[in-house]
Homo-oligomer: A and B are copies of this chain.
Amino acid sequence: VTEDQTRITSLASDGLRDALTIADLESLARQRMDPAAYDYCAGGSGAEATLAENLAAFARRRLRPRALVGVAKPALATTVLGRRLELPIGVAPVSLQRLAHAEGEVASARAAADLAALFCLSTFASRSMEEVAAGAGPGVRWLQLYLLRDRGVTASLLDRASAAGYDAVCVTVDVPVAGRRHRDLRNGFRRFMAGQPALLRDLAPQANGDREAALARLDAIFPNPRATWADFEWVCSRTSLPVLAKGVLRRDDARLALGSGARGVVVSNHGGRQLDRAVPSIDALAEVVQAVAGEAEVLLDSGVRSGADVLVALALGARAVLVGRPVVWGLAADRAGSGVAGARRALELLRDGLAEAMVLAGAGSVDALDPSFVA
């Protein structure tokens, strides 16, 4: 940071520019969101032990920097499943982003595209695949998919993803049922009522106006606790897109995913929103990386809040990380604007924080990171 940069930042009067950390963005977001919607986004399941542990597990790790490596500008670019990204960071498939900003996923996808970051769209996005593809410009985009109780609906989603130019499908494997979120229950918060998933309009166009009827249709196909790795395998066979398994925390499941056709695995505890007390994903990463043994790519989400967190995950074997809440806070902080600048600010904070951490740690590129950087 030069003197000039310091001055410019200090003179900036708008909140986004003043935000130095993801926590700053969250603070702005909290002021600007409906409290129940904020709770839905911020909260976790049960006693929120995993929600807290996700952050604590990153914070416990210490870095071992190398000196005088001569890195002026570290190379953040990488490839994920063969596609180039300018940074090893993606937007996690957070549902219902209209809760944060009216533009919803179109804004966050555009922010990702602007930075050549990965974007992953939720099955329960507020905006449709096609709206996002059309509105966000060219970029690497994945569709997150639930294994719904109706294979016809799943198949149609896969077909639309291919048609709309999505690059991969990321199948969530850790939602046999939705985790019990006490905040939502206490708030009486009905997420699909408040967040208006585009899928609801697809499923029940005729239910126009009758939201309860539409919700009943959705309830009939989601969640699907009977889904198994055979269903995952069916998805792999049904689409020509590469398929990843998101929500893996054990070596045996990593092997099952590979055996079922997964080209990638996302180590995740769903941001602390599914099984409370599940291991922090950063604690499960090494086990999964070892089990995968280079046969597929390993990503990670849950708990990434800073560039140093990204560095830790990459050093321990992740090819990239996904971030959910940080982008939501960016969207909501930019509620009065287009949303794009806010979401971009979140990604930039992480990107610039990663770059700074890599320079200070003496890592010239993401490939240079290895476990010796983590104590």
Q: Given B1, B245, B284, which contacts A180 in the complex, CB threshold below 8 Å?
A: B1
- Tell which of A6, A47, A228 has the most Cβ of chain B within 10 Å: A6
A68 touches B228 (CB 8 A): yes
A179 touches B (CB below 8 Å) = yes
Q: Given B3, B64, B229, B353, which contacts A68 in the complex, CB threshold below 8 Å?
A: B229
B65 touches A11 (CB 8 A): no
Task: Point out the residues of chain B lying under 8 angstroms from A225, CB to CB.
Answer: 70-73, 359
When each residue 44-85 of chain A gets 1 if its CB lies under 8 Å from chain B and 0 otherwise, what string results? 001101000100000101111111111111000000000000
In the assembled complex, the CB of A45 is this many whole angstroms from the nearest CB of chain B, namely 8
A10 touches B (CB below 8 Å) = yes
A238 touches B (CB below 8 Å) = no
Residue ID in chain B nearest A20 by CB atoms: B182
B359 touches A176 (CB 8 A): yes
A329 touches B (CB below 8 Å) = no
Residue ID in chain B nearest A252 by CB atoms: B66
Copy tally for this chain in the complex stands at 4
When each residue 138-153 of chain A gets 1 if its CB lies under 8 Å from chain B and 0 otherwise, what string results? 0000000001000000
A157 touches B (CB below 8 Å) = no
A276 touches B (CB below 8 Å) = yes
A245 to B174, CA, bound (A): 40
A67 touches B279 (CB 8 A): no
In the assembled complex, the CB of A311 is this many whole angstroms from the nearest CB of chain B, namely 9
Task: Point out the residues of chain B lying under 8 angstroms from A256, CB to CB.
Answer: 67-68
A46 to B1, CA, bound (A): 13
A248 touches B67 (CB 8 A): yes
Interface size range on A against B: 35 or more
Q: Given B1, B6, B278, B359, which contacts A65 in the complex, CB threshold below 8 Å?
A: B278
Task: Point out the residues of chain B lying under 8 angstroms from A284, CB to CB.
Answer: 64
A274 to B68, CA, bound (A): 13
A68 to B224, CA, bound (A): 10
A33 touches B (CB below 8 Å) = no
A206 touches B (CB below 8 Å) = no
A10-B185, A68-B232, A176-B362 are contacts. A277–B219 as well, Cβ < 8 Å?
Answer: no
A227 touches B279 (CB 8 A): no
When each residue 257-296 of chain A gets 1 if its CB lies under 8 Å from chain B and 0 otherwise, what string results? 0000000000001000011111110011000000000000
A63 touches B275 (CB 8 A): yes
A25 touches B (CB below 8 Å) = no
A70-B225, A173-B67 are contacts. A361–B275 as well, Cβ < 8 Å?
Answer: yes
B176 touches A360 (CB 8 A): yes
A1-B178, A67-B253, A71-B225 are contacts. A7–B360 as well, Cβ < 8 Å?
Answer: no
Task: Point out the residues of chain B lying under 8 angstroms from A182, CB to CB.
Answer: 20-21
A68 touches B279 (CB 8 A): no
A291 to B65, CA, bound (A): 16
Q: A: which residues have CB within 8 A of B?
A: 1-4, 6-7, 9-11, 18, 20-21, 46-47, 49, 53, 59, 61-73, 147, 173-174, 176-180, 182, 184-193, 215, 218-219, 225-229, 231-232, 245, 247-250, 252-253, 256, 269, 274-280, 283-284, 306, 308, 353, 356-357, 359-362, 372, 375
26 contacts between A and B (CB under 8 A): A1-B180, A3-B192, A3-B193, A6-B189, A6-B190, A9-B188, A11-B188, A18-B186, A53-B62, A62-B283, A63-B278, A64-B278, A65-B278, A66-B253, A67-B174, A67-B245, A67-B249, A67-B253, A67-B256, A70-B226, A71-B176, A71-B225, A72-B226, A176-B362, A177-B356, A179-B360
